[in-house]
């Protein structure tokens, strides 16, 4: 599969995962409405989830930069960083994003912002000091691809839906603890069975929603890798950068689970190849770096 085919495949699979999110949300909403016979609970949950995430979307760049202790990058201090971003932004047809740095020896980078005109690219000083120009171009191409592909919007949708499911499930559990459901037992065993299935489904729904959110995040990394290489025309540059990122085991000084999915590499430190079990891989925000390198280099064939 070449890069163009991989990019199209990843887009289709990502939107299929988002559709799966919608199914989970609808199923949870129906279960809670049926269990309580009171749709107002859903309206409250929807308002809370969307209000919280609407604010997070509009202020996402400021929140993320603050959480990671980022500072503006000057052209004088980071000349190569500036020129690489300027050149690749022109090639991608994007406005040049604002540039920030994090004073941290761990090599990493991320992009954030609500759209192309309000985008931010941020890199650690560790990444800027250890990458060659070709490797830096690979990393920046990856981050600009996140902006070009509107990944920030997609991940915001994923967070909204996951937040909605979690809030509805929390309301359900609290109300069940204090008062129980309002359904009567006139339908006998069938009604009781449906109630049990509803409870189990609602309890497990947040886990399913989180897994889908993480799967979307992992898919977007593969897509940004492929799109970034289409921009730089040099797969080995990004592959070499990923090798360096993947060989750095120490976590970032201010690693934060809330923003971990934004980074090109795991901010909690790379794991030795083959050390992660299937459960850890399932709950990971990033696909294994060896898999990403293999996909990049195989695309040249």
Cβ atoms 188, 28 nearer than 8 A: no
Catalogue the active-site residues. Answer: 143
Measured in whole angstroms, how far is the alpha carbon of residue 103 from the centre of its chain? Answer: 23
Nearest 5°: the CA angle 126, 231, 127 is: 0
What does DSSP say about strands 109-112 and 120-124: parallel, antiparallel, or unpaired?
antiparallel
């Amino acid at each position: 599969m070449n890069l163009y085919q991989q990019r199209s495949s990843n887009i289709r699979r990502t939107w299929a995962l988002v559709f799966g999110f919608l199914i989970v949300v609808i199923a949870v909403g129906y279960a809670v409405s049926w269990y309580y016979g009171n749709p107002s609970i859903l309206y409250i949950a929807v308002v809370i989830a969307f209000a919280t995430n609407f604010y997070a979307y509009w202020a996402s760049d400021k929140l993320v930069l603050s959480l990671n202790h980022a500072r503006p990058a000057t052209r004088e201090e980071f000349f190569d960083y500036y020129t690489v971003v300027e050149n690749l932004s022109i090639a991608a047809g994007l406005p040049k994003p604002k540039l920030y740095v994090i004073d941290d020896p761990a090599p990493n980078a991320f992009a954030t912002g609500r759209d192309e005109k309000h985008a931010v690219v941020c890199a650690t000083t560790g990444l800027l000091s250890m990458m060659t120009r070709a490797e830096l171009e690979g990393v920046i191409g990856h981050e600009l691809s996140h902006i070009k592909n509107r990944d920030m919007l997609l991940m915001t949708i994923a967070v909204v839906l996951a937040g909605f499911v979690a809030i509805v499930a929390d309301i359900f559990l609290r109300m069940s603890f204090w008062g129980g459901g309002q359904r009567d037992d006139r339908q006998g065993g069938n009604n009781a069975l449906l109630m049990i299935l509803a409870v189990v489904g609602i309890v497990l729904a947040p886990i399913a929603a989180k897994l889908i959110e993480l799967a979307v995040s992992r898919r977007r990394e593969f897509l940004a890798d492929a799109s970034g290489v289409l921009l730089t025309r040099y797969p080995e540059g990004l592959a070499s950068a990923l090798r360096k990122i993947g060989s750095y085991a120490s976590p970032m000084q201010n690693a934060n689970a809330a923003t971990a999915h934004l980074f090109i590499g795991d901010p909690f430190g790379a794991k030795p190849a083959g050390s992660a079990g299937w459960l850890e891989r399932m709950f990971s925000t990033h696909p294994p770096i060896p898999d990403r390198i293999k996909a990049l280099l195989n695309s040249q064939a």
